[in-house]
């Protein structure tokens, strides 16, 4: 989802007027592509550059610095950025002093290639180098191109208070870890975002508290694989060392904070603060996580659990580390402990070697689980990934498309059925803002993450309201506020 402009909505914990640096009066245009983690990173970039004196603008034509925070997950995502760079080229023709920078996964993946290919790029900054942005900008001022794509084993930006971008003042993302150690064979993320590391839980809780105090009512804890969050005050970021020491020493064990502990800590800040998290990983989601969700009503009844494929052969080639039966067992466990918990997923069609039988297995798994929601993609080979090295991208594009269409059609039916089951029931909805379709209607989400639209009445964003659902589409519930 593209984020064409940004406004500073609030910056909890940071007093007004603390700008430093010699950039006052300079304007920053920042646009983000890709996953929620990228949008969350852009809030860190905005904070760093706001401290360096920049003010935000939503108009690239009036900016002094234009940055694109990019995504490499599929080729299509990279093509969109290249297209945007072409547009920037024409702006630069009229405004030669405009500084153009590429941040994020594409910067990390392509490194200096971007300087060679895209002559107009002045700055290339990978996901772990955002603290250096003021310095990199200085370097450009002195007439040189600036590049930093060094990945870090420690950087978590724990001390940086994000500037909330395009926010609604009600819901916010909190990054709890960075990188990924999973090595799913199709995925470029371990190469662009580096090793997994967890952020100090105290800073996470502080950020959540401060958001709550400034009126926010929902936080989503973000990581590529939140179930492997692990932190110890003295043992650094290496999961293996923490696990080993915690097994051997009761004191170390007591000091270790895992994801279930972190969820509990954030959930106890205030019962009015909703807690969501993303993304869970099927091989790692533990019974403790499921149990802690049950203990706290304000941890939302929704788990995003990407399955990718319903075929064991494909899952093996994807190096996902679980089987179809394992996945189904996790779903059974979730539903037995938390009745009514929504489950959403990601699915890839046309991965290397995928047959019609594999596709049938994916469709049958979808039917069996009855996913409430899904993100669905055609496989896109990423250079340098284990799949690109080991397997042939041998499913023709039209077959990938046909299979994707089958998956989308089935999910459309399942999402509609899921919403139909919710009609006639009362939902506790956190109001987020005006409905896109009508300014006489508001929208919010229920605990299962379904969007609910209802007439405005007297409520406002940030309120909790009870809504009786009286209609639905596959994407939305409609209803009326009661009580
Ligand atoms: N091709 C298609 N989809 C991909 N994803 C990750 N890598 C690829 C790729 N090479 C999808 C997965 C993942 C989601 C974030 O993006 O489904 O869960
Ligand atoms: Fe990529 Fe797998 Fe890590 Fe997700 S868990 S970011 S799909 S390697």
List b or e across 326-336, with b for residues whose CB sees 16 or more CB atoms inside 10 angstroms.
ebbebbeebee
Q: To which residue do tokens 């954030």 refer?
A: 266
Are the C-beta atoms of residues 467 and 429 closer than 8 Å to each other? yes
Give percent of the chain above pLDDT 90: 86
Distance CA 65, CA 23 (A): 11
Using 50, 70 and 90 to split pLDDT, how confident is the model at 419? very high
Q: Residue 89 corresponds to which tokens in the numbers above?
A: 């080229």
Q: Other C-beta atoms within 10 Å of 133: how many?
A: 24
Gap from CA of 230 to ligand 2 centroid (Å):
17
Domain ends where: 97, 115, 148?
A: 148
Q: Which atom of ligand 2 has the smallest separation from the CA of 224? A: 6
Q: Which atom of ligand 2 has the smallest separation from the CA of 225? A: 5
CA separation, residue 415 to residues 345, 402, 419 (Å): 12, 20, 6
Strand partners, 115: none
Query: What is the pLDDT at residue 255?
Result: 82
Are the C-beta atoms of residues 236 and 290 closer than 8 Å to each other? no
Are the C-beta atoms of residues 362 and 408 closer than 8 Å to each other? no
Domain ends where: 127, 148, 169?
A: 148
- Tens of pLDDT, residues 56-92: 999 999 999 999 999 999 999 999 999 999 999 999 9
Gap from CA of 320 to ligand 2 centroid (Å):
9
Query: What is the pLDDT at residue 289?
Result: 97
Gap from CA of 32 to ligand 1 centroid (Å):
18
Counting ligand 2 atoms within 8 A of each CB, the residue from 36, 109, 185, 187 with the most, and so the one to mutate, is 187
Residue with more model confidence, 24 or 77 = 77
- Tens of pLDDT, residues 427-464: 999 999 999 888 899 999 999 999 999 999 899 999 99
Distance CA 278, CA 7 (A): 25
Residue 59 lies in a domain: yes
Q: Residue 17 corresponds to which tokens in the numbers above?
A: 């007027």
Contacts of 345 (CB under 8 A, 6+ apart): 304, 305, 306, 307, 369, 371, 373, 374, 375
Counting ligand 2 atoms within 8 A of each CB, the residue from 34, 35, 71, 180 with the most, and so the one to mutate, is 180
Query: What is the pLDDT at residue 477?
Result: 98
Gap from CA of 349 to ligand 1 centroid (Å):
10
Are the C-beta atoms of residues 346 and 309 closer than 8 Å to each other? no
Give percent of the chain above pLDDT 70: 95
Gap from CA of 279 to ligand 2 centroid (Å):
9
Residue whose CA is at the smallest distance from ligand 2 atom 4: 224
- The residue range of the domain holding 103 is 3-148
What is the three-class DSSP state of 129?
Answer: coil
Contacts of 268 (CB under 8 A, 6+ apart): 296
Residue 370 lies in a domain: no
- Tens of pLDDT, residues 235-262: 766 777 777 777 777 777 778 999 999 9
Distance CA 100, CA 123 (A): 6
Counting ligand 1 atoms within 8 A of each CB, the residue from 74, 307, 327, 381 with the most, and so the one to mutate, is 74
Gap from CA of 184 to ligand 2 centroid (Å):
6
DSSP notation for 308-328:
B-S-HHHHHHTT-S--HHHHH
- Tens of pLDDT, residues 336-386: 999 999 999 999 999 999 999 999 999 999 999 999 999 999 999 999 999
Q: Residue 471 corresponds to which tokens in the numbers above?
A: 């209609």
Domain ends where: 92, 119, 148?
A: 148
Q: Residue 325 corresponds to which tokens in the numbers above?
A: 């039966």
Residue with more model confidence, 40 or 22 = 40
What is the three-class DSSP state of 426?
Answer: strand
Residue 285 lies in a domain: no
Residue 397 lies in a domain: no
Residue 29 lies in a domain: yes
Is 109 near ligand 1, meaning CB less than 6 Å away?
no
Gap from CA of 227 to ligand 2 centroid (Å):
12
Residue 20 lies in a domain: yes
Indicate which ligand has the atom closest to the C-alpha of 322. Answer: 2
Strand partners, 68: 31, 102
Gap from CA of 72 to ligand 2 centroid (Å):
13
Q: Is the pLDDT of residue 35 over 70?
A: yes
Q: Read off the CATH number of the domain in which 473 is found.
A: 2.40.50.140
Using 50, 70 and 90 to split pLDDT, how confident is the model at 411? very high
Q: Read off the CATH number of the domain in which 98 is found.
A: 3.40.50.12160
Q: Which atom of ligand 2 has the smallest separation from the CA of 346? A: 7
Please tell me what DSSP assigns to residue 482.
Answer: E
Is 346 near ligand 1, meaning CB less than 6 Å away?
yes
Is 400 near ligand 1, meaning CB less than 6 Å away?
no
Contacts of 415 (CB under 8 A, 6+ apart): 371, 372, 373, 374, 474, 475
Count: domains in the chain: 2
Gap from CA of 225 to ligand 2 centroid (Å):
7
What's the mean pLDDT when you consider all of the chain?
A: 92
Residue 128 lies in a domain: yes
Q: Which atom of ligand 2 has the smallest separation from the CA of 320? A: 2
Query: What is the pLDDT at residue 336?
Result: 97
Q: Which atom of ligand 1 has the smallest separation from the CA of 380? A: 1
CA separation, residue 155 to residues 7, 12, 131, 234 (Å): 26, 21, 10, 16
Q: Is the pLDDT of residue 406 over 70?
A: yes
As for ligand 2, residues whose beta carbon falls within 6 Å of it are: 180, 182-184, 187, 189-190, 224-225, 281
Query: What is the pLDDT at residue 3?
Result: 33
- Tens of pLDDT, residues 95-140: 999 999 999 999 999 998 888 777 789 999 999 999 999 999 999 9
Is 380 near ligand 1, meaning CB less than 6 Å away?
yes
Q: To which residue do tokens 């995502």 refer?
A: 77
Residue 192 lies in a domain: no
- Tens of pLDDT, residues 180-233: 999 999 999 999 999 999 999 999 999 999 999 999 999 999 999 999 999 988
Is 382 near ligand 1, meaning CB less than 6 Å away?
yes
């Amino acid at each position: 989802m593209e984020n064409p402009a940004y406004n500073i909505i609030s910056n909890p914990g940071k007093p007004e007027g603390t700008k430093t640096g010699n950039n006052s009066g300079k304007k920053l245009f920042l646009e983000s592509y890709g996953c929620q983690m990228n949008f969350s990173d852009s809030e860190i970039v905005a904070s760093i550059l706001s401290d360096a004196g920049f003010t935000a603008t939503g108009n690239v034509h009036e900016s002094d610095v234009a940055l694109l925070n990019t995504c490499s997950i599929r080729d299509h995502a990279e093509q969109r950025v290249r297209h945007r760079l072409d547009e920037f080229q024409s702006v630069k023709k009229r405004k030669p002093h405009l500084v153009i920078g590429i941040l994020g996964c594409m910067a990390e993946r392509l490194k200096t290639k971007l300087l060679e290919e895209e002559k107009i790029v002045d700055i290339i900054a990978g996901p772990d180098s955002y603290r250096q942005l003021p310095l990199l900008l200085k370097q450009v001022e002195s007439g040189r191109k600036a590049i930093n794509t060094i990945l870090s084993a420690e950087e978590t930006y724990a001390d940086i208070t994000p500037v909330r971008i395009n926010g609604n003042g009600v819901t916010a993302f909190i990054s709890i870890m960075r990188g990924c150690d999973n090595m799913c064979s199709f995925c470029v993320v371990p190469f662009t975002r580096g090793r997994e590391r967890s952020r100090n839980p105290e800073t996470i809780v502080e950020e959540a508290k401060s958001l709550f105090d400034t009126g926010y009512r929902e936080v989503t804890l973000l990581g590529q694989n939140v179930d492997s969050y692990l932190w110890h005050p003295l043992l650094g970021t290496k999961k293996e060392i923490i696990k080993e020491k915690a097994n051997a020493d009761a004191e170390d064990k007591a000091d270790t904070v895992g994801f279930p502990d972190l969820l509990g800590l954030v959930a106890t800040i205030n019962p009015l603060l909703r807690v969501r998290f993303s993304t869970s990983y099927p091989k790692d989601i533990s019974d403790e996580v499921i149990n802690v969700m049950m203990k706290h009503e304000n941890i939302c009844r929704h788990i995003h659990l990407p399955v990718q494929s319903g075929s064991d052969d494909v899952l093996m080639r994807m190096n996902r580390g679980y089987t179809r039966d394992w996945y189904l067992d996790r779903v059974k466990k979730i539903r037995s402990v938390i009745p009514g918990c929504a489950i959403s997923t990601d699915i890839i069609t046309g991965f290397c070697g995928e047959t019609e039988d594999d596709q049938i297995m994916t469709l049958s798994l979808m039917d069996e689980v009855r996913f409430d929601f899904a993100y669905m993609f055609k496989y896109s080979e990423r250079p340098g990934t284990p799949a690109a090295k080991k397997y042939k991208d041998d499913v023709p594009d039209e077959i990938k498309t046909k299979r994707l269409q089958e998956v989308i059609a089935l999910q459309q039916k399942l999402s509609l059925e899921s919403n139909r089951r919710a009609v006639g029931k009362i939902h506790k909805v956190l109001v987020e803002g005006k409905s896109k379709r009508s300014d006489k209607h508001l929208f919010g989400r229920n605990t299962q993450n379904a969007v609910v639209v209802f007439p405005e009445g007297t409520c406002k964003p940030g309120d909790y309201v009870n809504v009786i659902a009286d209609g639905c589409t596959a994407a939305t519930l409609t209803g009326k506020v009661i009580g």
